[in-house]
Structure 1
């Protein structure tokens, strides 16, 4: 049985379909999934035969022909997610069939030939990537303030919730608590690597804690600067003098667009790495108490057999749990007919004390789902009661 199912509909050429699916495969590789085995791909003819138990999403390529309308109608009738997409410069109203005009479309960018943004959208719809798209900009104000502000605005325009210290801490809030909280909930840290970056303890702490949380780093190296070997493993973009309008930025448009696309591509690897780390700790604790992992389900759920042979389902999540996320897990468990209370597993390190107290209140008062820290999963499951 497949865990995830996708469909490519509309006027996609063979080359577009192949390119998109190769990008999807590159992204799901990090989760240990394979197209054709764990991820089934449909066309307009096979969509009605999809497995309704699997997580599903479709993309509709707009064009002059407006093909696969019967498949579109069937997906709309069953409330399945469909992403309408058109090329840069194309007209949404004429190239996308009227049935899909209610759905927010994705305009493919010329600087994204591999369709990374579209592939990420599909994986968000099926739950492999979280819908929150978060980035953190780490920089020294005295050296790269203009570039930092520019990337904040650019990534925000690309659908990211971006943390920048001068923009995102409200007056009266504890600055460092908010900063670490937002870092823990970020998918990618964008490091503006200027000559004195490591001379500030704050930027040293940011890069160190990002690595401790296994958040992937995109290093943007300033011209004529030799970066520290401490960040040699980071994805890197080197700037030339011509890329900067001033000493501290902004960055030339084509290069800043390349940085934004690199963040998009790195995001899936970062989420997959953190997810695999949490599931590894989960597996180790389950083994330690004598339980067993018996199955992997859709939406990244994991079936656990307890010592008394009961089966519970755990949902490891990346980032910071919210009431909305708890509700989402409860709904997925209900649709999958999972009888025991589902468990949301999360890494609590770095989350603000106020939010930890909020999560405890939710756990005490909302019984449809339980939220458990990764550090306590074995302890909790050893004496599990629904």
Structure 2
């Protein structure tokens, strides 16, 4: 059986670790309506030779002594596909990881992550199910939680997240609200610092409302002795105790920051999956509305449709705000598709700054290897499609 997305788990991994990792991959894949052992295949050292070379693929290698599965790992390495070295501690890296893998940046298992969700997330990024940018938006009242917001910004940035904080990330002279909404639309998760007067501000109310309008998932961090507003009841929630804060406005204890970081990893995959499924659902409805046909999903989540004049298009829905790099990525993926045709990037344009929309329009007019399609205009544009 060959899948759309394939993984290999190699090396000195315990049966318990393997099962935890597989469970996390299965849970994340299900959010995209992908089934394990059907669209998603997981190999070991004995079966990885059977993998489908046209499928999106990534591997992990668990270091240990003695080193095992060397032949399978080296074969994958020589094919220039992603393989992540994994160790229990960084001190073990040089002795537990084969020399040919040592130039590759590794991953150190997190003792606070028994479900191995962080590693599963990295594997999902390698095959393109999750985007590599890990974008977080912090929504807060400056009068109540500024110190905690600054701390979250700095510490999550060190953990590899791209964190937006209004006081840090809007340059002088830029239109404040336009940039803020643009950054929100490109975020995976909104962290809401739920303090007593959070909903008294028009701006924070708009931030939480527009995050929901874009189907961006929310992590609510509730201040001690505060009765949270029911408007945020559907959010994932972390409750703070008095001892979790050094002062009323923060900073938080490092333990709580680590808890927030792990929770974000779990929420992020669901958030991206929800937005992706929303775009594909709207796209399918629009395709059928104009009499075209939805023919199925191929590698890299490309959607095949047949227009009423029998032309076939491959549509690539993306979450967040497209860039020239996104176009290049889709062009590369399309080259591996044996059924040739001009690939079409599909994105949600609501909330994107006008200057960036103009930039995307210029790219669409001048880079013909990939076309652009706004999901808000999908039916209208596809009914009169020219290329």
**TM-score normalised by L of structure 2:** 0.98
Q: Is the 8 A contact 1:285 1:377 kept in 2?
A: yes
RMSD after superposition: 1.0
1:1-386 equivalent positions in 2, closer than 5 A: 1-88=2-89, 90-386=91-387
Alignment partner of 2:166: what SS? coil
Partners of 1:30 and 1:102 lie apart in 2 by 33
Please give the alpha-carbon distance, in whole angstroms, between the structure 2 residues aligned to 1:131 and 1:252.
28
Q: Distance in 1 between matches of 2:114 and 2:323?
A: 35
The Cα shift of 1:108 comes to 1.4
Structure 1: 4+ residue segments shifted above 3 A: none
- 2-side partners of 1:112 and 1:158: how far apart? 15
Deviation at 1:76, TM superposition (A): 1.7
Shift of 1:338: 3.6
TM-score, normalised relative to structure 1: 0.98
**Is the contact made by 2:299 and 2:337 (CA closer than 8 Å) also made in structure 1?**
no
CA contact (8 A) 1:313 1:338 kept: no
TM-fit CA distance, 1:252: 1.3
**SS at 1:128 equivalent:** coil
Q: Deviations over 1:156-212 (max 9, x none)?
A: 122110001111111111111111111000000000000000111111111111011
Counterpart secondary structure, 1:91: helix
- Cα distance in 1 for partners of 2:76, 2:349 equals 38
Gaps of 5+ in 1: none
Mark the runs of 5 or more structure 2 residues left unpaired by the alignment. Answer: none
Helix, strand or coil: the match of 1:79?
A: coil
Cα distance in 2 for partners of 1:382, 1:88 equals: 56
Distance 1:76 1:14 in 2: 24
Structure 1 distance, partners of 2:50, 2:31, is 28
- Separation in 2 of the partners of 1:136 and 1:87? 31
**Aligned counterparts of 1:66 and 1:158: Cα–Cα separation in 2:** 29
Aligned partners of 1:293 and 1:90: how far apart in 2?
Answer: 52
Aligned length: 386
